[in-house]
Amino acid sequence: MSSVNVKIAIAGIGTVGGGLLELIRKYKSSDIKINVTAVASRRKQKFHGQFLKNTLFFKDAKELLSFDDYDILVELIGGEGGVAKKIVFDALKKKKNVVTANKALVAKFWKELKSLEYKNKCVLKYEAAVAGGIPIIKVIEEFLLSNKIKRIYGILNGTSNYILSKMLSSNKEFKSILIDAQKLGYAESDPTFDIDGTDTAQKLSILSSLAFSFNNSANSIKNEGIDKIKLVDLKIAESLGYKIKLLGITEIDKKRIKNYVYPCLLSKDSFVAEVDDVYNGIVVESDYCKKSFFVGEGAGAYPTATSVLSDIVNLSKGKENNLSIYSQLKKYDSVTLEDRYGSFYLRFTTDDRSGVISGIAEQFKKYNISMKSMLQKEQTGNYTNNATIVITTHNCFERDMMKALKRINNLNFIREKTVYIRIEKFK
């Protein structure tokens, strides 16, 4: 059996691109020979030996628009627009296959990219765009051949998971751990998308679009982040048998789709709650396999580069997407966050006097909210005149809880705005 010669052009040699070149250099296969015909990088690169002696080097990725000597374009620049978008769309229009790690681009232009892929009988691979070293895209594509996916949920951002984990284990507040994460390279100098839920929403939109075959824009997902999570809530949650995690949740309910991104309390014995540090953990629920759980590093040079190389190898072997499932995207109505039906963790800071609990209960009664548990924490230091009351609730509609909290926060015994965190009951 003769080996396959595959030509690739790589745009962007940062952390992942550098890791990919190292993996390609070490890649040994009797079936496939990977030939890097071009590399586009704004920075000068140093490479070992004769590995890239016949490779063209471009300082500007735009030069790839007039370059055709490749079978697969590997886009590792990032960003939803600019040159990354231009070269990816250009390659697909040229009927070239594309491998990308660009979650922002895939999330925003899912419908357009799938249309080009289907029209030109080429393939877009994006395993590295979601969950780094976990092959979750491949898993979902193969599930679709025999299983109907009902729900996907999990930790999709390693930075936020690291911060929440370390806050609790090191007894430090958010800002202190964020600085540590930046020093260790787990968080960017501008970590906004990681901590405000945007990164998770982009990844969730890709998983949702793929699993349910519809155009789910990340912009339609209301995301909440972890920057307002306090150490005290992590500690109280742990004492109650929970951990707080930033989750992405997508679920099909008849002809409606739920897409949520927010921090929530999970039972400590649930699959995802046990995933700490920079790891991602994803659960796929389907009709025949019930729950399938996947865990792995969510970012970094080699885990992400491994996913990129896997896509390159699969394309080289002729293992392509089942394009027929994208020939006609479905339409679903969205279940808004206001329509969520679930339970809550609530922390009230109040005057330390009688009548407080009955005052809160009175507002709950107006909106059919039932208390499940309650505890009062003793105050110390400068706050001895205040009381901390923690309540968990039975299931209720989110819109009712928001109305009740609005009224409660205006009561004369409330000293600080009430903290609320959703509780999810995944096993």
Please tell me the distance from the alpha carbon of residue 95 to that of residue 315, in angstroms, as a whole number: 14
Q: Which one-letter amino acid corresponds to residue 253?
A: D
Residues 146 and 284 grouped into a single domain:
yes
Query: Same structural domain for residues 202 and 287?
Result: yes
Answer whether 175's CB lies under 8 Å from 229's CB: no
Phi, psi of 69 (to 5 degrees): -85, 65
- Residue 45, pLDDT score: 65
108 and 186, same domain (yes or no): no
CATH number at residue 46: 3.40.50.720
Do both 241 and 278 map to the same domain? yes
Same domain, residue pair 57 and 96 = yes
Alpha-carbon distance of 101 to 54, in angstroms, equals 25
Does 303 reside within a domain?
no
DSSP 232-272: HHHHHHHHTTEEEEEEEEEEEETTEEEEEEEEEEEETTSTG
pLDDT value for 300 = 73
In DSSP notation, 129-189 reads GSSTTS-HHHHHHHHHHH--EEEEEEE--HHHHHHHHHHHHHT--HHHHHHHHHHHTSS-S
| Selection from 152, 157, 281 nearest residue 226 by Cα | 157
d(CA 207, CA 395): 27
Q: Known catalytic residue: 203?
A: yes
What end-to-end distance do the CA atoms of the chain give, in Å?
Answer: 48
d(CA 96, CA 113): 13
The structure's pTM equals 0.91
- How many residues appear in the chain? 427
CB 181 within 8 A of CB 203: no
202: left (phi over 0), alpha (psi -120 to 50) or beta: alpha
Domain span at residue 119 reads 4-129
For residue 52, give the nearest of 76, 79, 18, 81 by alpha carbon. Answer: 18
The answer as to whether 161 is a domain residue is yes
One domain for residues 271 and 286: yes
Is residue 323 situated within a structural domain?
Answer: no
- Shared domain check, 381 and 419: yes
**Domain assignment of residue 332, yes or no:** no
pLDDT score for 46: 67
Domain boundary among 129, 153, 178: 129
pLDDT for 240: 96
CA 350 – CA 312 distance, rounded (Å): 59
User: Based on the domain organization, do 231 and 111 belong to the same domain?
Assistant: no
Q: For the domain that residue 382 is a member of, what is the CATH number?
A: 3.30.70.260
User: Does 324 fall in a domain?
Assistant: no
259 in the same domain as 343: no
| Residue linked to tokens 């681009």 | 105
Q: What pLDDT tens digit does each residue of the chain (427 aa) get?
A: 567 899 999 999 988 898 999 999 888 877 899 999 999 998 776 665 577 888 999 999 999 999 999 999 999 999 999 999 999 999 999 999 999 999 999 999 999 999 999 899 999 999 999 988 899 999 898 887 788 899 999 999 999 999 999 999 999 999 999 999 898 888 888 999 999 999 999 999 999 999 998 888 888 888 999 999 999 999 999 999 999 999 999 999 888 999 999 999 999 999 999 999 999 999 999 988 889 999 998 777 888 899 999 999 999 987 665 555 555 677 888 888 999 999 999 999 999 999 999 999 999 999 999 999 999 876 665 556 789 999 999 999 999 999 999 999 999 999 999 999 999 998 6
The total of structural domains in the chain comes to 3
Inside any domain, residue 309: no
Q: Are residues 142 and 289 in the same domain?
A: yes
Which SS3 state, helix, strand or coil, does residue 15 take?
helix
In angstroms, rounded to a whole number, what is the distance separating the alpha carbons of residues 364 and 11?
56
Q: Is residue 290 part of a domain?
A: yes
Q: Any idea what the CATH number is for the domain that residue 189 is in?
A: 3.30.360.10
Burial class (CB in 10 A: 0-12, 13-18, 19+), 273: buried
Three-state DSSP state, 91: helix
Residue 167 one-letter amino acid: M
* Together in a domain, 17 and 150: no
Using CA atoms, how far apart are residues 67 and 185, in angstroms rounded to an integer? 35
Identify whether residues 119 and 99 lie together within a single domain: yes
Which is catalytic among the residues 103, 166, 203, 245?
203
Question: What is the distance between the alpha carbons of residues 20 and 154, in angstroms, rounded to a whole number?
Answer: 27
